Structure 1
Amino acid sequence: MTLKLGVPSKGRLMDKTFDWFGRRGIGLERTGSEREYAGAVSGIDGVELVLLSAGEIPRELAAGRIHLGVTGSDLVRDKLAVWDDQVIEVDPMGFGFADLVLAVPSCWVDVDCVSDLDAAAAAFRKVHGFRLRIATKYHRLVREFLRREGVADYQLVDSQGATEGTVKNLTAEAIADITSTGETLRANHLRVLSDGLIHKSQATLFKSRAACWTPETRATLNTLTHIIDAGRD
């Protein structure tokens, strides 16, 4: 039985994943046409490359259909309930850094921190008759963060497009989204709350708890781990 390694199928995350393994002596490459999600592995026996979208990888890990997967730590935590019961962090990979943050309009001068947002949300509902809307793709992480912070008077609005534009388009009053430089937030006249960091994300190699770990796949994992460890030197 081969060990199945799921990696992002396109973009910078795929390229950086290939580079990361390549620097450690393990070659990953796409094969076939651009439309064909097929790949090959060299430098180690018994590993099959599975190309998936980064958002699919947490689900495939949880289902046990892949043994290892590379994806953002934010996606694993948001898509999997009690994520550490389903997967194990093997290695933070040192790229794909981004922060999931809570941001409000820059003109909200009296809202600096999450407790201010809580007060503003209560006032908003009293004036407008509905709860303050926060646009996000990351429902679980945002909901857990706001619960810990004691914020209750809000509603989450699903945003699968340009989340930063939802405030300007009047479909939300605040947002929770991934940012690396903050430039897009500033361009849309948004400001991160002073204590509004929800999660610091990076690309991470995860191991599935649910996959079928035979003696062969365990031996392959040990070999892979040794190669990765040797690549740190």
Structure 2
Amino acid sequence: MSLTLAVPSKGRLEELTRDWFAQRGLTITRPGGARSYLGAIEGLPDFTVRFYPASEIARELIRGTIDLGVTGRDLIHETSEAGPASVTFARNLEFGGADVVVAVPDAWIDVTHMHDLADVASDFRSRHGRWLRIATKYITITRQHFARAGIAEYRIVESLGATEAAPASGVADIVVDITSTGSTLAANGLRVLEDGVMLKSEANLIVSKTADWSPDRKAILDDLLARL
């Protein structure tokens, strides 16, 4: 009968999540310490807390193997095209704010909007003998956004880190990255297109729509949300 709440397993996200619940009178415990993946909410025996990486929380919420959890909106959108329809964003936790953006080199002075980038992409292969290359870890979000902008002539270069350095190193031509201030992009000679914010993300308490919601389990969830 117990519900599973997934919490980020380490770092600042874990700390801020536990603080957010504590401010609302709910203490999340981790009896086994940092190496333990199991916890509890004091005074709420109907809940089991599990500590997972934020990306894993997003995946399991969409699958319905956990009932609710804290993760970024960007990870829900990126994990699956069906992600947003598979969950309910129950509470905005008001931390972890950042934007997923399209950024181009400062030298591209005539490219200020997505429609300019569409023109560049269509001419790129004839001029350079290859597709426009986009460095990103946000493959799903990029494909969706570029499709809406009518841009199809590009190649994604998957980035596992330091995405903002890809154009300077010759790995890619532009980037899709997440940023809170834009300072790292600017330091690497990149700027965000004027309509280049693809998604605004923050940490959210998210409820899975695909989990088993019997009347009794739904009542337990509703009681928790009423306290938050």
Q: For the Cα contact (< 8 Å) 2:38–2:48, is it kept in 1? A: no
Moved more, 19-28 or 210-219: 210-219
Secondary structure of 1:194's counterpart equals strand
Partner of 2:144: 144
Q: For the Cα contact (< 8 Å) 2:28–2:41, is it kept in 1? A: yes
CA displacement 1:29-52 (0-9 Å, x = unmatched)? 323242222323114231110110
- Map residues 65-214 of structure 1 onto 2, 5 A cutoff: 65-214=65-214
CA displacement 1:111-164 (0-9 Å, x = unmatched)? 111111111122221122110000111111111111111112111111111111
Partner of 1:231: none
Q: State how far apart, in whole Å, the 1-side matches of 2:143 and 2:196 are.
A: 13
Query: TM-score, normalized by length of structure 2?
Result: 0.95
CA displacement 1:197-233 (0-9 Å, x = unmatched)? 10000111111122122344222212101111xxxxx
Structure 1 stretches lacking a partner, 5+ long: 229-233
Partner of 1:222: 222
Q: State how far apart, in whole Å, the 2-side matches of 1:224 and 1:210 are.
A: 19
Q: State how far apart, in whole Å, the 2-side matches of 1:144 and 1:81 are.
A: 8
Query: TM-score, normalized by length of structure 1?
Result: 0.93
Structure 2 stretches lacking a partner, 5+ long: none
Paired amino acid for 2:125: R
For residue 186 of structure 1, report the CA deviation from its aligned partner: 0.8
Runs of 4+ in 1 over 4 A off after TM superposition: none
For residue 88 of structure 1, report the CA deviation from its aligned partner: 1.3
CA displacement 1:163-208 (0-9 Å, x = unmatched)? 1111111110000010001111011111101110100001111111
Paired amino acid for 1:34: A
Paired amino acid for 2:16: K
Q: State how far apart, in whole Å, the 1-side matches of 2:101 and 2:86 are.
A: 25
Q: State how far apart, in whole Å, the 1-side matches of 2:225 and 2:43 are.
A: 13
Aligned-pair RMSD on alpha carbons?
A: 1.3
Secondary structure of 2:19's counterpart equals helix
Partner of 1:6: 6
Q: For the Cα contact (< 8 Å) 1:135–1:163, is it kept in 2? A: yes
Q: For the Cα contact (< 8 Å) 1:25–1:43, is it kept in 2? A: no
